[in-house]
Structure 1
Amino acid sequence: MTMEFRELMPPPSREARQWAMACHFAAFLGLVFPFGNLLGPLIVWQLKKDQDPFIDQQGKEALNFQITVAVAGLVCLLLMLVVIGFLLIGLLGLGALVLTIIAGIKANEGAAYRYPFTWRLLK
């Protein structure tokens, strides 16, 4: 989110911050069932995106990041044929875990978080 856009918006409400955090933390559904890391943020974002622009922006950011992680995970699976993928998938999982936690905390503080190295398909 650009600085100009944030300056025009009032600070997000407590409820908006919590739903934005839920968009990020919904990715942990991937620990429970396959593709939960994509479905969790998608469902929360779709249900709450019209409630507040902050939720909409953070939901898109969370979903874009999880799409990027899924694509990178597929690349790691292919690279397991040449062994390096085993190391890379571990690093990818650790990085996704840390960045998701940071994003959720920042969203709960009302800060618009942007994940690094993210392919932003949803604008």
Structure 2
Amino acid sequence: MNDEQVPAPMPSQEARQWAMFCHFAAFLGLVFPFGNLLGPLIVWQIKKDFDPFVDTQGKEALNFQITVAIAVVACFLLMLVVIGFPLLALVSIGALVLTIIGGIKANEGQAYRYPFCLRLVK
């Protein structure tokens, strides 16, 4: 018997595109309050039954944005003792970079898992 794992089939171009949109929908937070949560939630809810890849990447994007929202709230609370200002900048830059990486990886057909992410939506 061979112990090699069979690679998962490449998701279709449309599935990869919708998975990418799940990640990039977080940029609605730059336009609307809580858009970073609502964008991935809406795209995931609409397209989760389309393809399992879209479902997993949508959950991952939503979980990451929930984690970012919790971190931002903690930063605002820590602004009372000044440390929240640089932490908010760090969280914002990290969220921007990781969201872009997640979208690019999803478009390449690779399942991306965010580091430092609470996985509340199963």
Aligned residue-pair number: 118
Cα deviation, 1:25-51, whole Å, max 9, x if unaligned, reads: 000000001000000000000000000
Partner of 1:44: 43
- The alpha carbon displacement at 1:10 in A equals 2.1
Partner of 1:97: 96
Partner of 2:26: 27
Structure with higher helix content:
1
In structure 2, what is the Cα distance between the partners aligned to 1:12 and 1:20?
A: 10
TM-score, with structure 2 as normaliser: 0.94
Identity %: 77
In structure 2, what is the Cα distance between the partners aligned to 1:91 and 1:58?
A: 24
Which structure: larger Rg? 2
In structure 1, what is the Cα distance between the partners aligned to 2:48 and 2:85?
A: 37
Gaps (5+ residues) in structure 2? none
Runs of 4+ in 1 over 2 A off after TM superposition: none
* 1:65 maps to 2:64: yes
- The alpha carbon displacement at 1:122 in A equals 1.2
In structure 2, what is the Cα distance between the partners aligned to 1:122 and 1:80?
A: 29
Partner of 1:12: 11
Amino acid at match of 1:105: I
Cα deviation, 1:73-108, whole Å, max 9, x if unaligned, reads: 000000000000000000000000000000000000
Partner of 2:54: 55
In structure 1, what is the Cα distance between the partners aligned to 2:83 and 2:71?
A: 13
In structure 2, what is the Cα distance between the partners aligned to 1:89 and 1:24?
A: 21
